[in-house]
Structure 1
Amino acid sequence: MTHPETSPDIDERYIVPGLVRGLQVLQSFTRERQEQTVAEVARQIGATRSTAFRLVYTLEYAGYLRRIADGKRYQLGSRVLELGYSFLAGKDLIEVANPILAHLRDDTGTSTHLVVREGRDAVYIARFQGNTSLISAVTVGSRLPAHATAPGRVLLANMSLSEVVALYESFEFTKYTDATPDSMGDLVSLVEGDRKRGTVVSWGFYDSNVASVAVPVYDASGEVAAAISISCPINTFDRETFEGRISTQVERAGMEISRGLGYRAGM
């Protein structure tokens, strides 16, 4: 038996032909060919129909293929997805996010960030400096008040209301601009609005000269693992462009990172 990707150092005595054939069956299902009959599988892998039937039957038994309603066609089963998502879930957050944040920086010209929450702090764990005139003091490791920053608001919005109230009980709010909440009531109202919108746009919210957009990043379990954000001088874009095209680019980047961590929308 030969295989086009076999290394010359591989001793084929230890290869299990049936396993190789089974993997070929799974690989024969593609985006363009999501459903197949046994005859179609046989043709794709170059096997007899009886051999293909045994392979398909075994893969169905193991949960890697699923027979659809007409009883003649098959599609990939949930076990295949579980394998992929288990792998993705083990990938490091920063490892997944960095190239996407760098690409987002290049596309928008803005500074891009990856942020997690520790208590009432928004902690910046990755950053790519943009090419705008803004010289930001935010570096990796910086801590900013969650209630006053766009990524912090995203992270607070994905907590329950009781958790937010408990976190800020007896907290002395600092008002950085006129838009910053300075009471528990203001914060709760802001968080409830952010929760409905999902995307947080800050137009001079923490710094009156800075505009930001932040969105959540989800892990394989569907929980919010972090937030990503961009920032730039407030006069870099007109507000319509910033809240439209730029926000959409940030949302796409957030979903791309989420998918890289194994997130499935609608799970």
Structure 2
Amino acid sequence: MNGTDIDPPDTPADTSDAADRERRYSAPALEKGLDILEFLSECRDPLSLQQIGDGVGRTKGEIFRMVSVLAQRGYIERLEGDDRFRVTDRLFRLGMNRPVNRSLIEIALPFMNAFAETTGYSCHLAVMSGTQIVVVARVESTSHIGFTVRIGYRQPLILTGSGHCLMAFMSARRRHGLYDELRRDDPWIDLDALDRTLDAIRAAGHVARPSGITEAVVDLSCPVTDRREGGAVAALTCPYLRTRQVPKGPDEILASLDEAARRISENFSLD
């Protein structure tokens, strides 16, 4: 048999070459900075240098210069009169500068304003970020009393009406890919029950459920879709709280919200 006709098996040298290539493309300083940003972004309270080091598995000396540079560049900030740090919204603002996000917000705001003026209720636009929602635009209530959330507000997908809306109206492939991430966050999550809930939402065409965050508030949410993406790219949500000043029922608000979401979808798909 002519040995030149058969590819030889991998040799230890081949494995060594692959490992060398992987090492060649590593960037320890960048990885250290990203570790710090990711860790701080998950922490509710500001942290000291020692706490940050413990959180990323490094000493204070190893992270001191990196923390200083991140603070100088505005990605984290030191509390005034304190030695603790917290992440800023600089990365969020960079993400919002992406053309697709700017386009979505610019298209959505006129319809969101029209919804608020017509109904007297506030609304916000949320997109998916990992296993969370993040609010990228909002319009406040035109009445003296209202309930709003700030831009940049984040919560787990499974706790919010916006999150349920985004999950329900994404493609089946994307949804089940997301389930793997949700299971990593919470190994005990009942994905079968979640799947049934999302199927029911998709059949209804909207979300109407008690808020998973605030008592007495009902999350009303409708999908903003893009045919190029094959599903929801955002959720238009109204935190509904019945008031005597604006005594409109949830069905009436949902009808207006659905119309606004549909108009945003149509214009975004044409953009």
Please point out which of 111, 116, 123 is paired with 1:100: 111
The separation in 1 between residues aligned to 2:163 and 2:184, in whole angstroms, is 19
TM-score, structure 2 normalization: 0.54
Measured at CA, do residues 195 and 173 of structure 1 come closer, stay the same or move farther in structure 2, by a change above 3 Å?
farther
CA distance in 2, matches of 1:151, 1:123: 9
Partner of 1:193: 200
Deviations 1:206-258, CA, capped at 9 Å, x for gaps: 3222122111112252532211111132456779x31x221111110001111
Give the superposition deviation at 1:173: 8.7
Sort the Cα spacing of 1:173 and 1:227 in 2 relative to 1 into closer, same or farther, 3 A: farther
* Equivalent residue for 1:121, pick from 132, 136, 149: 132
Give the Cα separation in 1 of the matches to 2:102 and 2:138: 19
What is the aligned counterpart of 2:157 among 137, 142, 146? 146
Map 1:9-48 onto structure 2 (within 5 A).
none
Q: CA RMSD in A?
A: 2.9
Q: Is the 8 A contact 2:147 2:239 kept in 1?
A: no
Question: SS of 2:238's equivalent?
Answer: strand
Asked whether the equivalents of residues 112 and 229 of structure 1 are also in contact (C-alpha less than 8 Å), the reply is: yes
CA distance, structure 2, for counterparts of residue 195 and residue 103 of structure 1 = 25
Equivalent of 2:236, from 223, 228, 250?
Answer: 228
Q: CA deviation at 1:93?
A: 0.6
Q: Which has the higher helix share?
A: 2
SS of corresponding position for 1:163: helix
Contact 1:211 1:233 in 2 (8 A): yes
Structure 1 CA distance for aligned equivalents of residues 131 and 146 of structure 2: 26
Distance 1:184 1:223 in 2: 20
Unaligned runs of 5+ in 2: 1-99
Answer yes or no: is the 8 Å Cα contact 1:204–1:234 preserved in 2.
no
Match of 1:165 among 179, 186, 196: 179
What pairs with 1:64-83 in structure 2 (closer than 5 Å)?
A: none
SS at 2:269's partner residue?
coil
Q: Secondary structure at the match of 1:191?
A: helix
Q: Aligned match of 1:214 in 214, 217, 221?
A: 221
Aligned residue pair count: 166
Contact 1:112 1:129 in 2 (8 A): yes
Q: Secondary structure at the match of 1:110?
A: coil
For residue 203 of structure 1, report the CA deviation from its aligned partner: 3.0
Residue 125 of structure 1 deviates from its aligned partner by 0.2
Given the superposition, is the C-alpha separation of residues 169 and 248 from structure 1 closer, same or farther in structure 2, using an over 3 Å criterion? same
| 1:205 to partner: Cα distance | 4.0
Select the structure of larger CA radius of gyration. Answer: 1
1:48 match:
none
TM-score by length of 1: 0.55
Residues 1:133 and 2:145 are matched in the alignment: yes
Structure 1 residue runs without a partner (length 5+) = 1-88, 175-181
Are residues 90 and 190 of structure 1, via their aligned partners in 2, closer, same or farther at CA, if it must alter by over 3 Å? closer
Q: Report 1 or 2 for greater relative contact order, CA contacts < 8 Å, sequence distance ≥ 6.
A: 1
SS of equivalent to 1:156: helix
